[in-house]
């Protein structure tokens, strides 16, 4: 019992010490992995990925990815500087690349390293659709979602160690039952909702960024409707997914669009 109390006390101390302020939401987020730790590895992985895949250069689509990406970056700088976060992007090394791949995907590594797959372009359809995707992915990087997930994973491991300590005097069968229960509750009750929270945050911040960049956030709804149609209903139940369902996401984005427009209006952008 004493071991379990000590383990939980240590877990609480780690969580309190590891909170940092989210510059877009104003809330405290769990994160004890610094950019100095994560950026060098991310940059190396990005360079290695580019070497191993076909990067498209010199085409209209490749230029669109760069142009839209630069506008999203500029929007992020405007927002952060205007809200007292000058220097927040120090250390970022922005890069935008279109990669030949049929996957309907795009991503942004910590530090602003972006890849858009050619497979998503028929669904993005236009610059506003592309800005929806890139704004969303950049948002993940700006608020350190990758580092937060790493931090949460480490806490999950600490929690498992606490369960093991608390059940040390029980039979092997009993210990196994407790560990299975912990695994299920921590995953579906913690890690997956934690990931869905990140997706919702990225949607909200991404809308703000695309609006400040001059792209109508209403167009984001059209993009996600195309994404939903492309998926054809092939998705796991929402409570088992790291992403919200298509219908949930679309309704959420519709509700967020007015605020994104209001944020853009502060920078002289009106729709």
Q: What angle do CA 212, 248, 232 make, to 5 degrees?
A: 105
Q: Is the pLDDT of residue 183 over 60?
A: no
On whether the CB atoms of residues 182 and 201 are closer than 8 A, the answer is no
- Return the H-helix or E-strand segment holding 70: helix 60-82
Provide the pLDDT for residue 170. Answer: 53
Average pLDDT, the chain: 77
Provide the pLDDT for residue 39. Answer: 85
pTM of the model: 0.73
DSSP annotation of 237 reads: -
Provide the pLDDT for residue 207. Answer: 97
Q: Which range has the worst mean pLDDT, 54-58, 154-158, 247-251, 266-270?
A: 154-158
Residue appearing with tokens 């912990």:
182
Better pLDDT: 90 or 4: 90
> Is 204 exposed, middle or buried, given 0-12, 13-18 or 19+ CB atoms closer than 10 A?
buried
Q: Is the pLDDT of residue 165 over 70?
A: no
Catalytic machinery residues: 137
**Strand extents, DSSP E, the chain:** 19-21, 28-30, 55-56, 95-99, 106-109, 113-117
Residue appearing with tokens 């009993």:
174
What would the pLDDT profile of 99-144 be if each residue is shown by its tens digit? 999 999 998 888 999 999 999 999 999 999 999 999 998 998 888 7
Q: What is the percent of the chain where pLDDT is above 90? A: 49
Provide the pLDDT for residue 163. Answer: 41
Whole-angstrom distance, CA of residue 143 vs CA of residue 152:
15
Better pLDDT: 239 or 213: 213
What would the pLDDT profile of 65-105 be if each residue is shown by its tens digit? 999 999 999 999 999 999 999 998 999 999 999 999 999 99
Q: Which range has the worst mean pLDDT, 22-26, 110-114, 212-216?
A: 22-26
Residue appearing with tokens 């369960």:
163
Q: Is the pLDDT of residue 252 over 80?
A: yes
What would the pLDDT profile of 54-63 be if each residue is shown by its tens digit? 999 999 999 9
């Amino acid at each position: 019992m004493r071991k379990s109390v000590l383990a939980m006390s240590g877990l609480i101390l780690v969580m309190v010490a590891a909170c940092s302020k989210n510059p877009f939401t104003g809330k405290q987020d769990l994160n004890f992995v610094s950019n100095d730790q994560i950026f060098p590895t991310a940059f190396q992985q990005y360079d290695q990925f580019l070497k191993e895949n076909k990067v498209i250069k010199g085409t209209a689509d490749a230029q669109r990815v760069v142009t839209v990406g630069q506008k999203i970056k500029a929007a992020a700088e405007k927002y952060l500087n205007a809200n007292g976060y000058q220097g927040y992007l120090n250390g970022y090394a922005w890069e935008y690349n279109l990669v030949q791949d049929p996957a309907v995907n795009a991503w942004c590594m910590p530090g602003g390293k972006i890849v858009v797959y050619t497979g998503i372009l028929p669904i993005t359809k236009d610059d506003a659709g592309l800005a929806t995707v890139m704004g969303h992915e950049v948002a993940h990087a700006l608020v350190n979602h990758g580092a937060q997930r790493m931090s949460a994973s480490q806490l999950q491991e600490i929690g498992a160690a606490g369960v093991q300590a608390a059940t040390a005097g029980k039979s092997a069968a009993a210990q196994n039952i407790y560990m299975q229960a912990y695994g299920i509750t921590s995953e579906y009750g913690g890690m997956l909702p934690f990931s869905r929270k990140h997706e919702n945050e990225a949607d909200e911040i991404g809308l703000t960024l695309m609006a400040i960049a001059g792209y109508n956030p209403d167009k984001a709804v059209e993009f996600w409707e195309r994404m939903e149609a492309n998926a054809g209903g092939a998705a796991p139940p929402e409570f088992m997914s790291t992403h919200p369902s298509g219908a949930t996401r679309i309704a959420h984005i519709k509700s967020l669009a007015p605020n994104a427009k209001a944020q853009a209006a502060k920078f002289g952008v009106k729709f």
